Amino acid sequence: MTQQDISCGLEYSLTPDIQECVSEALQANYSFIVTPLIHPRFRRPYLPHRIPAGGFTRSDMILSPQDWTNRIVARVSPYLTVDAPSPVVQKRHEYYLHEELLYCRGLGVPAVMISLNSKHNTNLARILQTYQETSNFPTLIWTCVPMFCKRTLRNSEDLEDNKCDVAYNETWYWWSRFHQNMNWDKRVGVVLEISADLPSNDIIKRWLGEPVKAIILPTHIFHNNKKGYPVLSRAHQQLVVSMVERDAQVIVSGARRSNIEYYLQYLFRLWQRRPADTPMFSFARGWEDYLQTPLQPLADNLDTHTYNVFEKDPIKYNQYQNAIVKALADLQKKNSCQHTLDKESLITNIKIEKGQGDSESDAKTPVTVMVLGAGRGPLVRATLNAAEMTNTEVKIIAVEKNPGAVVVLAAQVRELWCDRDVTVVPGDMRYMNLSPKADIIVSELLGSWADNELSPECLDGATCLLKPNGISIPCKYTSYVNPISSSRLWAAAKIACLGDSQKMEKNLETLWVVYMQNKHDIAECREVFKFSHPAEGIKNSEGETMLDYRGLPLTDNRRKTTVSWEVTQDNVMHGFAGYFDCALYGDEMLSIVPSTHSPGMISWFPVFIPIKTPLRIHKGDKIKATFWRCVDSRRVWYEWIVEVNDNATVLHNPNGRSSEMLL
Amino acid sequence: MTQQDISCGLEYSLTPDIQECVSEALQANYSFIVTPLIHPRFRRPYLPHRIPAGGFTRSDMILSPQDWTNRIVARVSPYLTVDAPSPVVQKRHEYYLHEELLYCRGLGVPAVMISLNSKHNTNLARILQTYQETSNFPTLIWTCVPMFCKRTLRNSEDLEDNKCDVAYNETWYWWSRFHQNMNWDKRVGVVLEISADLPSNDIIKRWLGEPVKAIILPTHIFHNNKKGYPVLSRAHQQLVVSMVERDAQVIVSGARRSNIEYYLQYLFRLWQRRPADTPMFSFARGWEDYLQTPLQPLADNLDTHTYNVFEKDPIKYNQYQNAIVKALADLQKKNSCQHTLDKESLITNIKIEKGQGDSESDAKTPVTVMVLGAGRGPLVRATLNAAEMTNTEVKIIAVEKNPGAVVVLAAQVRELWCDRDVTVVPGDMRYMNLSPKADIIVSELLGSWADNELSPECLDGATCLLKPNGISIPCKYTSYVNPISSSRLWAAAKIACLGDSQKMEKNLETLWVVYMQNKHDIAECREVFKFSHPAEGIKNSEGETMLDYRGLPLTDNRRKTTVSWEVTQDNVMHGFAGYFDCALYGDEMLSIVPSTHSPGMISWFPVFIPIKTPLRIHKGDKIKATFWRCVDSRRVWYEWIVEVNDNATVLHNPNGRSSEMLL
């Protein structure tokens, strides 16, 4: 939540005295009013070609400019139906609508509210796009739709569940098609008029994925509690909180059955009583649906601010420490077994060179732990802690390629870790040969989509640093996706500026890191790519692992995976949400997959993987997505394609033309 | 047809000696051969990571560079299935495919042929796009599909019609989805392997709309005639001619049941015996599917070459002349009636001012004919001819705004028409006041989509030049559209260069004038906008015509029309074909609507109206298209939107941002 409190407005269906209405609403602590622009006193001429001398509404002098630009949401006359079947009516209403829109532009109101009353809105979409095209300052368009379409029930005797679903589905279609006609313009939002009965959870969730700018609460859906104050049903309370969490404002509308202040006070209380924010939620405040290009820590060097943010994670390094503790403990166990075995063999073979042998085998060889990509040292710290906890002697080698971070590491070795065995080795882990080899390598090279910061390539390149049967922390990671609907993310990706304006296709062929808020999950998460370390090499026909020119196992980090889902609800697919999880060691995990998210961990936002043209999908459809991870000598990139029944998208990012990770 | 003859190739399934094959084929008059690239002697290793010392095929020294670049279509090894379920097979085949493609690039063969064997081709599409992205010189990709999928019939006992349709549909889907995955790339064409039995006409027509580069005729579909020569069935003959007319080449393939020369001789004869070209067909030769931006004769002045082309039309001015003849005849009839009436009234009212009256009423007042937009005079000529034919005295006023054309007109008045009453008036017909007023105005201001060169605005502006109840030739015109499938036109529009490279959206929001060849009509033509002249003015609530500041009737040339179609076949919609027809006078018509096309008229090619994202449509779907004609003080433009069931395109060309006609 960016706002600390609910922002509420009050709707007036008639404002004979607009000044008085604004005063009343502000006095009752409402932030704005929703009001028709046309003064009821002004009857408009039958024919638009004569301008009435009296103008068509009140003078704009009666409110201050600040009030117009801050306090007024202008509602277009609800009787205007520019998609009416009669061409005469249509043309007349077009003229009036145009007149009202131009008036709104002149007044500088922050938003114009327009109601959809049927599925026919193409002409409305056309007029509004012309309005936006010809405006210097874009006005927000608030498209008002009821949650429930009574009309679809008109012919049915009763409210069977089935029919109700149709009625709730209907109005979503009005909005969704209209928004599609507007090319998912992000200046166009929806205002949802809440009904007394609520639809199924699935339908509510779908609405939560739409850019809902406000919800209208008619006073008749409140009931009075014992003390006579207006309150909402539990289901309605939940809906309001979910909506406000996604930045929706609330508009109270309809006949006043109670003091108008009471509604607002109730809503404020409702908001204050909501469950506390999760750490991630607090951390992400202000970053909701804000797209960032993924980091390229291999090609670029991270800056100090980025390190600052990542080192703050309260959970991540804890998990690493636990994993290192377990790994050290297991090593100790193994070594002591080995030790016992050695001793036993010595005994059975009768003593040879006694005296020397005993003292040597009892002296502990320190465990060599290499921290690959040590940054400013958080994993060195975790290793030192783990060593203390397990009472292990460790020799730590911290490899880091970023000279800026090496400075910090070296300073810490001098000042903090002077009594410990920590060595800093500057350089790229892929092109290094160190001795002794490591018992354990520890790294944190994962991006939001697991391998997208090239962890596989880095760790494969560092294989020669690890003893045979050595331990890699992490040892396994997997990327995940699920198809989502989010016009907001899609529109944001479309117009995002990537510098090179020539390459228009770039934007929708790129992975974006983003804390997603305004999205709807069309289906559950599925695995995409899996990697494990040390990686298994490619085997030849005789079953032997093949080696490269440096004698390292030949690995193949290219991948191709096809994932599919059955769709359970009509929807519009705009792309995928991408996540990862990772096994550090044993059962110590890190996860940003929603269902298994490591509690409290804040280091990674998910990724948004857009598709070029949103796909309309229907209940029962099968979505089939294929992802490729491609590798050449210089870079790594993803390509993807989506098929829905017999339809398909184009191939995204062929040959990495729009986005790539440099090796 | 651009070529004078059929271009035929010969397929070899094995070429142990490629040199000999080329010689044999050329000697038999074939233009090229289709051959696998991989020499059968070279067995490829199980694992791709070892390069066999012997290379993987023959040396390229055995053919001349000219032969490689002109005579060889390289067929990729048919057993390569890069979309195989097994990842191991997939990777190995990817490697081989890559190897063969690079070899093709190295040899510079003009086309690479690849077979589709199932509906799973996304990985193939990915690899080929990478290949194209990384090539400096694009290779044509010939995608080979059978016309008929035997596999779909495997489980059915018999060949019921229904099942057959499925089998014929199946392979179209393979191709169509693959082409969609390739984003309808125009370097990717289809090669259709003709089956012994042919599908329904509807399915053949759909194939004619695809970019068929070649058809493969297996020798087993020929049968021997009485003399023992190979011939085709009537249906096959027709198919071959239709395909070759659309620039497809023919490949003879399979076991040689007859001398290989006989097949070619038969095909040549077949082509020579085809029906003669229509005048339009001859005229359009070389312009097939070539996109042009529509003329703007109002904003720009036409050049002498354009006049040259348009004046050559053998039909158009004939029709005009017929129309003027009828109009003059009707005027004579009306005038003589009037004359008689006048005389009768004179007689009944007893004679007043005798002597003068008689001689005046007998002397013929000349009929005033204004040619508006006279160009270099073809309509003046038609009017002079019509006057002679009806023995009418005419006074011709030729209005022309193009100074270049005025020069030619004035010269003709001096030199050719010196004994006739022809006056040239330079200037814009919309801002003129001439006297006497015209009995007839004749104009030719129509574009390929009727009003798209602003005829309505010009003629409305010239209303004051016409007598009340005067005649306008033309008196009525209508634009038409039908939805079409044409990946070729769509791909051409997408990459067409409109100068302003910033505005990527321009291309697919513009009308294109084009002689369409490679397209398939999804449904029949329907009316869009209608105009008539003199235009009826807008009436006020009392039923009186409203007037503008010049005292001319206020007209409204904005239009909005929704057209819909029921789809009878699965297909992909890429846009619309647009046409017009026009009533000159009485029943004299001009039409470029296919079903009523004026025979022999060549002045107009149709328009192609693209949609931004091709829509996949299914049998039973309803296509609903809405077109707007928008007008402001400076310009006129079209906007359009398409809805298919619950799906919709975006609005095209909002506010005329991409294309407009200047007033």
Q: How far apart are CA B649 and CA A636, in angstroms?
A: 34
pLDDT of residue B218: 96
- Chain A residues 47-66 with a CB less than 8 Å from chain B: 47, 49
Using a CB-CB distance cutoff of 8 angstroms, which residues of chain A are in contact with residue B180?
647-648, 650
Using a CB-CB distance cutoff of 8 angstroms, which residues of chain A are in contact with residue B182?
650-651
- Chain A residues 588-627 with a CB less than 8 Å from chain B: 613, 616, 618, 626
Q: Does residue A93 contact residue A120 with C-beta atoms inside 8 Å?
A: no
The residue of B176, B646, B652 whose CB has the most chain A CBs within 10 angstroms, and thus the best one to mutate to test that interface, is B646
B621 to chain A, closest Cα gap in Å? 14
On the question of pLDDT at B272 being above 60, the answer is yes
Mean pLDDT of all residues in A246-252: 94
Q: Nearest 10 degrees: CA dihedral of B393, B399, B405, B411?
A: 40
pLDDT of residue A24: 92
Rounded to 5 degrees, what are φ and ψ at B2?
-85, -30
pLDDT digits (tens, 9 = 90+) for B527-578: 999 999 998 888 877 778 888 777 778 888 999 999 999 999 999 999 999 9
- Residues of chain B with pLDDT > 70: what percent? 89
Q: Which of A100, A193, A210, A444 is flagged as catalytic?
A: A444
- Chain B residues 459-518 with a CB less than 8 Å from chain A: 501-502, 504
Which residue in A366, A561, A367, A400 sits closest to A481, CA to CA? A561
B126 to chain A, closest Cα gap in Å? 7
pLDDT of residue A107: 82
Q: Does residue B35 contact residue B71 with C-beta atoms inside 8 Å?
A: no
Rounded (10°) angle between helices A234-245 and A201-208: 20
Which residue in A47, A136, A143 sits closest to A94, CA to CA? A47
Q: Which of A97-106, A221-230, A468-477 has the lowest mean pLDDT?
A: A97-106
pLDDT of residue B360: 44
Q: How far apart are CA A247 and CA A241, in angstroms?
A: 10
Q: Which long-range contacts (CB under 8 A, 24 or more apart) does B134-140 make?
A: B134/A655, B135/B105, B137/B108, B138/B187, B139/B104, B139/B105, B139/B109, B139/B110, B139/B111, B139/B112, B139/B187, B140/B110, B140/B111, B140/B112, B140/B187, B140/B188, B140/B189, B140/B213
Identify each DSSP E strand in B179-219 by its residue range. 188-193, 212-218
Which residue in A532, A576, A574 sits closest to A557, CA to CA? A532
Q: List Cα–Cα distances, A132 to A96, A128, B61, B62, B184, in angstroms.
A: 17, 6, 64, 65, 32
Q: Does residue B478 contact residue B250 with C-beta atoms inside 8 Å?
A: no
Is B180 part of the contact surface with chain A (CB cutoff 8 Å)? yes
Q: Does residue B122 contact residue A639 with C-beta atoms inside 8 Å?
A: no
pLDDT of residue A356: 47
Give CA B485 to chain center in angstroms: 11
pLDDT digits (tens, 9 = 90+) for B109-152: 899 999 999 999 999 999 999 898 888 777 899 999 999 887 76
The full DSSP string for A440-466 is EEEE---BTTBGGG-HHHHHHHTGGGE
Q: Which of A189-203, A272-286, B395-409, B445-459 has the lowest mean pLDDT?
A: A272-286
Place B65 in a pLDDT band, splitting at 50, 70 and 90.
Answer: confident
| CA contacts within 13 A on the Cβ side of B63 | 23
Instruction: Say which residue, A543 or A441, is predicted with more confidence.
Output: A441
Helix (H) or strand (E) holding B7: none
| CB neighbour list of residue B557: distance below 8 Å, 6 or more residues apart | B451, B456, B457, B460, B531, B535, B629, B631, B636
Q: Does residue A319 contact residue A582 with C-beta atoms inside 8 Å?
A: no
Rounded to 5 degrees, what are φ and ψ at A189?
-120, 175
| A640 beta partners | A627, A652
Q: How far apart are CA B544 and CA B531, in angstroms?
A: 20
pLDDT of residue A47: 53
Give CA A505 to chain center in angstroms: 21
On the question of pLDDT at B54 being above 90, the answer is no
Answer yes or no: is B266 a known binding residue. Answer: no
Q: List Cα–Cα distances, B157 to A486, B163, B169, B196, B463, in angstroms.
A: 48, 10, 19, 19, 72
pLDDT of residue A165: 79
Query: Exposed/middle/buried for A346, CB within 10 Å: 0-12, 13-18, 19+?
Result: middle
Using a CB-CB distance cutoff of 8 angstroms, which residues of chain B are in contact with residue A650?
180-183
pLDDT of residue B334: 86
Is A648 part of the contact surface with chain B (CB cutoff 8 Å)? yes
Q: Does residue B196 contact residue B230 with C-beta atoms inside 8 Å?
A: no
Q: CB pairs below 8 Å between A and B: how many?
A: 113
Count other C-beta atoms under 10 Å from residue B416's C-beta: 14
Is B130 part of the contact surface with chain A (CB cutoff 8 Å)? yes
Residue ranges of the binding site of A for S-adenosyl-L-methionine? 307, 316-317, 400, 428-429
Contact B651 A183 (CB under 8 A): yes
Q: How far apart are CA B423 and CA B435, in angstroms?
A: 12
Which residue in A601, A636, A644 sits closest to A619, CA to CA? A644
Q: Which of A453-457, B267-271, B293-297, B498-502 has the lowest mean pLDDT?
A: B498-502
Token representation of residue B361: 């009423």
Instruction: Say which residue, A59 or B320, is predicted with more confidence.
Output: B320
Using a CB-CB distance cutoff of 8 angstroms, which residues of chain A are in contact with residue B90?
560
Mean model confidence pLDDT for chain B: 87
Token representation of residue A437: 């080899």
Contact A651 B182 (CB under 8 A): yes
Nearest chain A alpha carbon to B183 = A650
On the question of pLDDT at B501 being above 60, the answer is no
Instruction: Say which residue, B340 or A581, is predicted with more confidence.
Output: A581
Is B166 part of the contact surface with chain A (CB cutoff 8 Å)? no
Q: How far apart are CA B639 and CA B653, in angstroms?
A: 5
Rounded to 5 degrees, what are φ and ψ at B45?
-65, 155
ipTM above threshold 0.95: no
Out of B91, B639, B648, whose CB is closest to A126? B639
Strand pairing of A647-648 and B32-36?
A: unpaired
Contact B570 A129 (CB under 8 A): no
Which residue in B485, B529, B557 sits closest to B626, CA to CA? B529
Using a CB-CB distance cutoff of 8 angstroms, which residues of chain B are in contact with residue A648?
122, 177, 180-181
Mean pLDDT of all residues in B185-189: 92
On the question of pLDDT at A532 being above 80, the answer is yes
Place B475 in a pLDDT band, splitting at 50, 70 and 90.
Answer: very high
Residue with tokens 């979309």: B83
Token representation of residue A490: 């899609």
pLDDT of residue B357: 44
On the question of pLDDT at A448 being above 80, the answer is yes
Mean pLDDT of all residues in B375-396: 95
Using a CB-CB distance cutoff of 8 angstroms, which residues of chain B are in contact with residue A540?
47
Q: List Cα–Cα distances, B408 to A256, B300, B394, B403, B427, in angstroms.
A: 80, 18, 21, 9, 15
Query: Exposed/middle/buried for A79, CB within 10 Å: 0-12, 13-18, 19+?
Result: exposed
Mean pLDDT of all residues in B452-462: 93
A444-473 burial, b at 16+ Cβ within 10 Å, e below that, comes to bbbbbbbbbbbbbbbbbbbbebbeeebbbb
pLDDT digits (tens, 9 = 90+) for A386-414: 999 999 999 999 999 998 899 899 999 99
Answer yes or no: is B431 a known binding residue. Answer: no
A384-416 burial, b at 16+ Cβ within 10 Å, e below that, comes to bbbbeebebebbbbbbbbbeebbebbeebbeee
Q: Does residue B531 contact residue B455 with C-beta atoms inside 8 Å?
A: yes
- Residues of chain A with pLDDT > 70: what percent? 89
Is B118 part of the contact surface with chain A (CB cutoff 8 Å)? no
B592 to chain A, closest Cα gap in Å? 28
A46 to chain B, closest Cα gap in Å? 8
Contact B657 A133 (CB under 8 A): yes
On the question of pLDDT at B192 being above 50, the answer is yes
The full DSSP string for A558-612 is -EEEEEEEE--S-EEEEEEEEEEEEEEETTEEEE-SGGGPPTT--S---EEEEEE
Using a CB-CB distance cutoff of 8 angstroms, which residues of chain A are in contact with residue B647?
180, 616
Q: Does residue A467 contact residue A501 with C-beta atoms inside 8 Å?
A: no
Contact B181 A648 (CB under 8 A): yes
Mean pLDDT of all residues in A273-291: 84
Is A337 part of the contact surface with chain B (CB cutoff 8 Å)? no
Using a CB-CB distance cutoff of 8 angstroms, which residues of chain B are in contact with residue A541?
46-47
Report the helix count and the strand count for chain A, using DSSP H and E. Answer: 16, 27
Is B547 part of the contact surface with chain A (CB cutoff 8 Å)? no
Mean pLDDT of all residues in B294-313: 82
Helix (H) or strand (E) holding A244: helix A234-245
A444 is an active site residue: yes
pLDDT digits (tens, 9 = 90+) for B589-598: 999 999 999 9
Place B499 in a pLDDT band, splitting at 50, 70 and 90.
Answer: very low
Q: How far apart are CA A257 and CA B196, in angstroms?
A: 80
DSSP character at residue A617: E
Q: Supply the residues of B annotated as catalytic.
A: 444, 453
On the question of pLDDT at B379 being above 90, the answer is yes
pLDDT of residue A313: 87
Instruction: Say which residue, A365 or A465, is predicted with more confidence.
Output: A465
Q: How far apart are CA A576 and CA A608, in angstroms?
A: 6
On the question of pLDDT at A205 being above 70, the answer is yes
A542 is an active site residue: no
